[in-house]
Homo-oligomer: A and B are copies of this chain.
Amino acid sequence: MQQRTVFFVSDSTGITAESLGHLLAHFPEVKFRQFRYPFIDSIQKIEGVLQRIAQAREEDGVRPVIMMTLVDPDYRALVKQADALCLDMFGAIIDPLSAELNMQPSLGVGISHGVLGHSYHERMDAINFSLGHDDGQTNHGLDEAQVILIGVSRCGKTPTSLYLAMQFGIKAANYPLIPEDFERMTLPSILDKYPEKLYGLTIQPERLHSVRSERRPDSFYASLANCKEEVRLAESLMERAHVPWIDSTSRSIEELSTTILQKIKVKQYA
């Protein structure tokens, strides 16, 4: 198997550069060793990284890959001299943008912290909201929720709610569907007020059995028979209540969140 070393070099957190590293998955036959070098904002640090790159070049016998988001043109020029494939994100995006807008970029380091325009405080508020409205722990303030996720215990509601809050600044509550709901075969009545905010998650019973068994091995709660029954009843309840739902089993939190967000966006802006 071919091996390559990849360096993410940034004068800020490197999270933008690193997110591009996801694209490496399009070369599944290559084993990528990945190193992050955030806050590279002095000539000494640039030189340190260049040494590390030269060392990897020697060790691997092939050129390393560099993904860099450096603002300073001098530093960019220095890194480009390395014997490596240098993917300059600033060059690939800022330079053409600068030409298109007919405007010089501001060269402040690390000036880009918002997520799609959501301010830091909006995101903090959303995270606190989602934590406070996890697992149906309070009905107080549900009016403020932008989405309410429902589903059986341990189907992925909590991480999805938190991701919606952290990545998109969305106030996401979540509410478990429990045996009492299945006996009545109606949603918890508090949710009746918010039909347009509801989104369901479901999961394959085998996967649910495995997740629950980690927490409570050999319990009725975790048994495959009970997981099958709960999932069947939850899906039929959501169907009956006209709540859209999605299977979390083989989807990443990013996919789940984006899918849900599309639905909310439609409601908000259509």
Contacts and interface: CB of A to CB of B under 8 A. Distances in A.
A113 B259 contact: no
Given A27-B106, A127-B162, A22 B255 contact: no
A237 interface: no
A266 interface: no
Contact of A34 (B34, B111, B116): B116
Given A22-B112, A93-B20, A124-B159, A12 B117 contact: no
Contacts of A67: 93
Contact of A22 (B28, B92, B113, B120): B113
A162 to B, nearest CB: 6
A90 B18 CA distance: 15
Contacts of A124: 159
A24 B112 contact: yes
Given A23-B112, A26-B106, A13 B255 contact: yes
Interface string A235-270: 000000000000000001111011100100100000
Interface in A13-42: 13-16, 18-30, 34, 36, 38-39
B14 A97 contact: no
Residue in A2, A22, A24, A90 whose Cβ sees the most chain B Cβ within 10 Å: A22
Given A23-B89, A112-B26, A158-B127, A97 B65 contact: yes
Contacts of A27: 97-98, 101, 103, 105-106
What's the number of copies of this chain in the assembled complex?
2
Nearest to A215: B128
A106 to B, nearest CB: 5
Contacts of A22: 16, 112-115
A57 interface: no
Nearest to A92: B92
A1 B97 CA distance: 16
A224 interface: no
Contacts of A185: none
A41 to B, nearest CB: 12
Interface string A92-132: 11101110110101111011111111001001100110010
A163 interface: yes
Given A15-B167, A96-B85, A97-B85, A117 B34 contact: yes
A59 B259 CA distance: 28
A132 to B, nearest CB: 11
5 contacts: A13-B254, A26-B105, A27-B103, A87-B96, A120-B253
